[in-house]
Structures are given as C-alpha cells and as structure tokens.
Structure 1
C-alpha cells in the first residue's frame, strides 16, 4: 500500500470518486473471471515475516523505522509500531526444494535485519505478542510516523472516540480504555500466500476456512498481553478489537468488524468476497487512482485493480483473497493471516508445510463444504482454537465432536503428506517439517503452553510477575536462536532474565498490581479485616475511582489511641485515612523511589497515572528486592 497519498475520505467528492474506481475494478475482475484471464496451472508460494525488536532489558526497542531506512531494501517495510518490522519473501514455485528455499531466504533476511539491530544493541524476536510490553509502550508516540498508520489511528478515533472499552477475558481479564486503538502494533505474524487457479478458488477458499482452526490450535504463541493471561492466541481477539470502527450497539444491525473470519461460505464465485467487502465495509481512506480497469481490459492489457487492492488492504480477513500481477500475468492467491510469528524458523516452516500440504490435498470429502457443514460451526471452531489452543475440541463434519489432537494426528497430517507429495515437494523436507507438527501435537507443547507453564513455574519461585515475563522473553530469544522447535524447549528460568537492571530498574517492574482498595465512606472495621485476611499493612482509599487517601495499620492505631471510645464499626475511613499523599509514577527508578520513601518517612508508595491507582510498593516489596539482589551478589562472589 502506497504511503504517500493516503488520506481520510472527508468529502462527498472523494467518496464518489473512490467508489467509482472501486466498482469499475470489480466489474473488471468479474469480466476477467468470465473470460478466463487468470494464470492457470501454476502454484507459487510466498510469505511476509513480521518481527519485534527488543533491547538489552528484553523490552520493546523503538528502532523499526531507523532500521528500514538504514537497510534501504525493497523487501523491508515498517509496521504499525516502531518496535516492529516486516520482511517480504520472493514468490517461488510450489514444488521441489521450495521449503528449503523458503527457509534459506527467511533465515538470510532475518539475519540481515539482526545485524543491523545488533549495531544498536538490540535483537530480533519472533513472537505473536511480546510478553514484556507495557501500557507505556502502546502510546500514540510508539506508532510508526507514516501516513497510512496515522490515518488508520485517526479514523478509528474519529469513528469510535479516543477512549472506548477494550475487553478480553481468559485466565485473567483485560479491561481498559487507555490507548486501545494503538494496540495494533503489539502483534506480529507469519503471513503465507498460496496462488490458486481461479476456477478452483471457491472450494479452496472454503477449505482454507475449515482448516484455519486446527492449523492455529497447534501453532499458538501469544497467550499474554500487558501481563494478562488471555487467549492461547490473543492476537485473534486483540486485532479484532484494535481495528474495530463500529460504534457501540452497531452490531445490532449485523455490521462486521474490519477484522473478520467471515459469515458465510463462498457459493459460486470468488467475486462474492469482494462484493461483501464493498457492501459491508464503508470506505474511509482513499488515495490517488489513475487506472480505468475496464479500459485497460478493452486494450488487451492487464489491469492493476488499484482501488480494489487498496480497499482489500483495509479489511483484515483471517483468510484473505488477493489479486496480483506477476511477470505480466494476473493471478489470485489466498493469504493466510492466522499464524503467529515464531517460536523459531523451524516451527514456522513446519506450520507452513502443514498448511500448504493441507491446502494442496483438498480431498473430495471436503469439496462442496457449503452443503456439508454450517459456516457458524466452522467460525466457532476457529474462535475456540484461539481461546484454548491444542486442548480444544471441534465440531467437525457429520456433527462429529473430535479433539484437535486426534483430528490433526489421525486425519490432517496424512492429508498434508499427500498434498506436499502431490505438489512434488522434496520428501525429505516435508517429512522433517511435518514430523515437528506431529511431535508438537502429541506432546501438546505449543509455544503458548511453554509460556504459560514457564510463568507458573517461575511464580512458584516467589518472583514477581514482571520478573517472570522478562525471564520468559529472555528464554524465548535464547531458544529461538538455537532454532530447536518449541516442543523440545526446557521451561524458562529466572536466571535467564539477566542482572538486576532487567528486573528491578523501574517501579512498574516491582510494584504490586493486585491491589485491595476501600471507599472513603466504608467503615474502618472493613479495612482492618481486609488487612488481617490479606496480611497487608496498607489499603488505598478511592473516591469515584480516583485515589484520595491511604489507610494503614499505623493510622488505625494512632486514631484508636486518640479516640479509644470510638466504635470502629461506625467510624468512616475518611476520618482515619492519610490524605497528604506521596505518590510516584510507574516509570520512576526504584532507586529514586527508595530515596523518596526515606525522605518522606513513609512505609508505602502508591503508584499512579494521573489520579488513577495502578500499583503500590511497600517495605515488604523492598525486602523482596533486597533478597534477590543479595542472592545475585552472593552468586558472583568467589568462595574463599
């Protein structure tokens, strides 16, 4: 998508002109389908690899645009956030050594980016969502300053408002109104392309929709966002809400989000997808168009279908049909946007081989799916796979309930073998990669399971959640560089997080985020009981969601000593709480926080953003930090 002339449609003239080009492009596409203008009998594959830059503390490094500018390669493009980048691989024929060629090109291009990253003391990580992302990393300033991204953000904010509720529920729950439209930069994927003959596209696209669930279930790698354990593939929920331009209650009229799995099968023609996209999704961006596609066809030429491709680029179907021209010949391809980046190149090639093999197999049993299984069931399977990962059960053909493991191992893997063999892919290559899928599925050790199990084990070692996410990210990077598939990984250890700077540098790394609060009109007895139950000495006091005071064991004792005749069952907390508060920001250095606590002669420090409480750090937390620092010091002392 060109980035130079993109603008928001802000006049009827813009809208009418854009619509005119768009309708001509669809008419041209329909005519090309009728006249068999598309390349036939040739299958090519391609891929787009998104990646994350991380710094020495294993947190986002905002260097994407600088790396792109320095590299100056046509296959390197920026992404939504400044800590991301994308590389595009060359289209190659789907046969012979294509998997090896894909692996070699992918490895070489990632290494090229890595070399540039290392010059800036950063590294490249392949992951669906970076576990160490914080809210401060999702501000509008974190976005890549290019017109298309700025226009997307401006449009979402214009249509929905700059603050709207964002809600994902999993093992934990994420509810926020802070910068949700910028969350789009927090996701990275491996997008696969397969060229398909136009006359086979209806069955092939429907087949791609059906197999989206099982191929995702065994490949999940993004179970956490902003420290919350959500879906096994949280990207699916995150991207849908991030790009949603609907107003509240607009779904009552069945208006679709711009990230969609779709609502029905293709019936007769591939053009139905584009009909739905134009009818169902209002155009909000435009650019300069110069081609009359119908006139190009009249002259015997091959149109670019600029307006249709542009509109298609603003709608993010998980399986998207794309039009392109390669070596002067028009073609159609399916773009698979389902799979996350990582965990390793080996895992990505295994996922690629599995999907390509399945696509090329398409047995007769799975043709004409429109008459064999309701689309809603397939859509439900996809969402369940994203939520639950490899442990999910699907409702399959004939209303059969089957586990993802059984379906993959007993039916889909043999089909993938057949499909790759039929394409003429080297047997040694596809056997190797499909065996990775088999072992991953049998063991249940997907990337998301590795992250969640590592987190559980690390918390058992009495470290903070933030320390755990740093250790996990460090472990992901080390194991990615070994290129051993994820099912062979050992769980992350706390030592992988590095020295204390990576774990105890800022308050948001060490503060307690699970906070018990009371209201100023609650009775003191309530606060006393909560302190006793939860073994805490401080409780923040709120009014209408804003911090207005704090009640401590000391403040209760001091009040009781001066008012021994008072009944705490009747005394409101506002009479006892401390109101001359000393607070800190999440990005304050821990060393500065210690100085502030000593100078202010206080025992706890509420951490706020504006007047909103986001955490608290107490003397107990500093004892925890001291224990780890002392242990680290002792580990580095030579025995005498």
Structure 2
C-alpha cells in the first residue's frame, strides 16, 4: 500500500494482473534459488506511524501541508489526514543499531514538530488517539491520494455491505460504517528485520511464536471514541474495519487481515503463493515488464502490490535492490508510548527472533499454529493479564501460562540473539533493560492510560478526562521517559 495508484477503477485489467501474478511467482522461485541472493550484512529498519494533534489534543487534518513543508523523503502520507508516517533508515546490526535508530526517530520528530508548531500542531505516537471524534472517522478525512480513494471504493464494493465493528471490553463498542477511515485510527511501529534467505522460515516462525508474550507488555491502545476496550484495540479495529467477508456464510475464507495460515515451511515463496491463491486482487494496476537481464533483479511489481493488500500481522518482504534480500516485517507493535519504549520493543523482538531461530523446530512441534494465533489475540485483548497457551515444562501437552512466565523462559535467548548478530554488549544491555523494567513493573502504555483515565474520571467528564490523560501522556513522551517510570495521578 506504499505506492500511488494511477489507474482508475474502470481501467483496471484484472485478467492481465492475475496472469502477471502467476508469472512472477515462477520468477520469484527462480530468484530465491540464486546463490548470491540475499547475501549481505544483517540490518534492522522501521516505519513509525504518528498522529498530528493541535494544542487541545484534537486530531489536526494537515498531513499534506506538513509533508509539503518538510520536504523530507522519509515522510509519507498515511490513510487519514491526521496521520504521518516516517520510513526510517536501515541500520546494520553491528555495534549500536538501536541507539542509531532511536536518534534518527528523535531527530525526525523534532524537525517535523518545528514545522508543525507553525500551525500550533504536534506529533504524538500512540496506538489510538484517545481524543478522536466521529468527525475524524469518515471518508472526508481520507488523505488526498488516488490509492486511498480507490481502495475505499473497491473494498466496500467487494464486501457488498457496510463494515461491522463489534469490539468487546469494559465498555463494548458496536458500529456500522461504510468508511475505511477507522482503519487509519490505529498507528503502529513496524519493525523490519533483514534475514538470510536460508533462515527465513526459522526466523519468521520465531517471530510468529514470540509475538504474543512480547506484545502483552507493549499494548498502548485501550480506548476508541471514549470506549474502554482491548489493551491493544488497534488489533481488533484493523481486522474488522476492512473485513470484506460476510457473516451469513456457514464457512468463511481467511480475512485479509490475518495472523497466518500455518507455520512456514517453504520460505517467502510459500507466503506469496498462498496470498495470491487465497485472495482476489483489490487493485489491478499494470506496470512495465521487468527487464530480462542479469544486471538487475526483477521488481515483481504486481506481486508486490497484491501482497500489500493482504495484511499479515507479521509478513515477508522481498526487496530487489542491490543483490536483493528478504525481511520479516513485524506490524503488531503499536506506536508509543516513547521512543525508548518502541526501540526497546524492537530490541527484544529482534533478539528473540535470532536467538530462537536455530532451535525453533523444537518448539513448533509442541505448539500447533492455531495456538500461536490464539495467543496473539489474547495478548492484544488482555495485555499483561493474558493467559497464553504454551507447552508443558515436561514436554508433553499444553497448558495456560502468563506472558510473564513465558518471557522468563525465553529471556536468555533475547540476549543471545542480539550478541549473535553483532550487537554491542552495552547496547544489548541498555535496551533489554528498558523492556525488562516495564515487564517487572507489570505495566504498559495501555495499563497507564487505563489507570490515569480512571483517576481523572473521578474529577472530569469522560471527554475532558481523555484530553487531560493525553496531555499528561505528552509530557512524558516529550521527556522520552520509559513508561515503567510514569506516575498516575488525578492532577
């Protein structure tokens, strides 16, 4: 979804597009067999989605103006006019990659805020902006790009009826809407881990396995339009807000927002082939054919476009630049609460992914994939209080464990994984410690938001309490004080 679409709906050629998908799947298989494909230094990268707010904490619909004023190629528009995304520079894993990533995020936010302040605006990194109103969640707020307008039209046409939002929680939320703007209400910190081609399946499966216990301590989206819902409401909202399936069928195909079908056994090609067979194309944009020579790897543009309209929470990425490489993109982590918290989350996920990869089969045979998916949604809903399914200690059968217990079992692998890929020991200690303090304090951004909101509601009406809560949140975020050190009060 990162590129503009120039063809109008009536000019989309679905027959040729599907033919290109078939051809490019064959080409992808051939490329992945090339001995020098994917060889090169390991790296991490990230995308940060942010919200733009005014001095009162309300969403400010000015992302186009901000993009034009900043003229920074790392910035791009997101779905709604109050969203702005940063595409951060890849960082080699040798040395201090997380510190370099954190410094780039802080510098980019500071430079953008300097411009935003001209309109009395500011960026905030948070899973769901608690001060959103109905005026921020309709087609009028969609960013002015052809791809978003066409996406809205075609997705609704595919469904054939309005979208149904039904999220349970302390104050359940239910709504019928024809707008995809709700999808843009959730913002994330998307981590990219470059992986060797031959290790793709192992690292991808490790990420699928560990996401739930890590996410439990990363949640930062407990409210939507004043309703207290999941700890990471963004997960349920994204899945439901663009679900093209209908409820009246006896059985249904997998949703386009999906955790996965099964443990990966055949690398990136398996993921791309599965998506190309299970899901009808939304867009049918046709691109110039790839040159047939040995100087450049094929772009596989139609295949890439289609993959971008199947939203796997953890997904494989093919990149044709230089000698080409593969990445695993982690889309489960929310934006915020602070830069330090986000980068610490990235360090833990990266370390565990690499630390568990070589021995991942010993865990996969003990845990059917459906339980990894179950764990993901339980962690998103209940956060640090989630009960997750995990193999028994004696190796026979399954039982419920807390995220705390599972992390205790896995934690040494986070350190081992970071050291294995060349991260400096001081660097590894710094970022793992930030996460561990939050874990041991049994808190998260979502926990703090709930506690602060409940304290403020004793004094203020709900909407004012939400605004006051966001104001205090921003104070801590500007200081880059890890959420484990945040205080709760009604002041």
Normalised by the size of structure 2, how large is the TM-score? 0.95
Partner Cα distance (2:50, 2:344) in 1: 18
1:490 aligns with 2:487: yes
Match of 2:335 in 1: 341
Q: Is the 8 A contact 1:192 1:337 kept in 2?
A: yes
1:360 aligns with 2:361: no
1:317 to 312, 315, 323: 312
Match of 1:415 in 2: 413
Give the C-alpha shift of residue 166 in structure 1. Answer: 1.4
Partner Cα distance (2:6, 2:286) in 1: 6
Match of 1:473 in 2: 470
1:194 aligns with 2:189: no
Structure whose alpha-carbon radius of gyration is higher: 1
Render the CA deviation track for 1:211-236: whole Å, top value 9, x for unaligned: 11012111000010011011100010
Q: Is the 8 A contact 1:472 1:492 kept in 2?
A: no
Within 5 Å, which residues of 2 pair with 1:599-638? none
Give the C-alpha shift of residue 156 in structure 1. Answer: 2.1
Query: Quick one: structure 1 residues 192 and 164, their matched pair in 2 at CA, closer, same or farther if it must change by over 3 Å?
Result: closer
Partner Cα distance (1:43, 1:73) in 2: 26
Give the C-alpha shift of residue 437 in structure 1. Answer: 1.2
Q: Is the 8 A contact 1:50 1:87 kept in 2?
A: yes
Match of 1:391 in 2: 385
Render the CA deviation track for 1:98-144: whole Å, top value 9, x for unaligned: 11111111111111111111111011111000001011211211110
Give the C-alpha shift of residue 41 in structure 1. Answer: 5.1
Partner Cα distance (1:435, 1:7) in 2: 51
Q: Is the 8 A contact 2:282 2:306 kept in 1?
A: no
Partner Cα distance (1:301, 1:44) in 2: 22
Within 5 Å, which residues of 2 pair with 1:64-79? 64-79=63-78
Q: Is the 8 A contact 1:203 1:369 kept in 2?
A: no
Give the C-alpha shift of residue 406 in structure 1. Answer: 1.9
Query: Quick one: structure 1 residues 96 and 357, their matched pair in 2 at CA, closer, same or farther if it must change by over 3 Å?
Result: same
Q: Is the 8 A contact 1:207 1:367 kept in 2?
A: no
1:301 aligns with 2:300: no
Within 5 Å, which residues of 2 pair with 1:540-579? none
Within 5 Å, which residues of 2 pair with 1:212-223? 212-223=211-222
Within 5 Å, which residues of 2 pair with 1:250-329? 250=249, 252-292=250-290, 296=292, 299=294, 301-326=296-321, 328-329=322-323
Partner Cα distance (1:323, 1:356) in 2: 19
Query: Quick one: structure 1 residues 420 and 269, their matched pair in 2 at CA, closer, same or farther if it must change by over 3 Å?
Result: closer
Within 5 Å, which residues of 2 pair with 1:14-413? 14-40=13-39, 42-161=41-160, 163-250=162-249, 252-292=250-290, 296=292, 299=294, 301-326=296-321, 328-362=322-356, 364-367=358-361, 369-398=363-392, 399-408=398-407, 410-413=408-411
1:435 aligns with 2:436: no
Unmatched runs of 5 consecutive residues or more in structure 1: 495-640
Give the C-alpha shift of residue 365 in structure 1. Answer: 4.1
Query: Quick one: structure 1 residues 254 and 371, their matched pair in 2 at CA, closer, same or farther if it must change by over 3 Å?
Result: farther
Render the CA deviation track for 1:415-434: whole Å, top value 9, x for unaligned: 11111111221222221111
Normalised by the size of structure 1, how large is the TM-score? 0.73
* TM-align CA RMSD: 1.7
Unmatched runs of 5 consecutive residues or more in structure 2: 393-397
Larger RCO: Structure 1 or Structure 2 (Cα < 8 Å, ≥ 6 residues apart)?
2
SS at match of 1:270: helix
SS at match of 2:150: helix
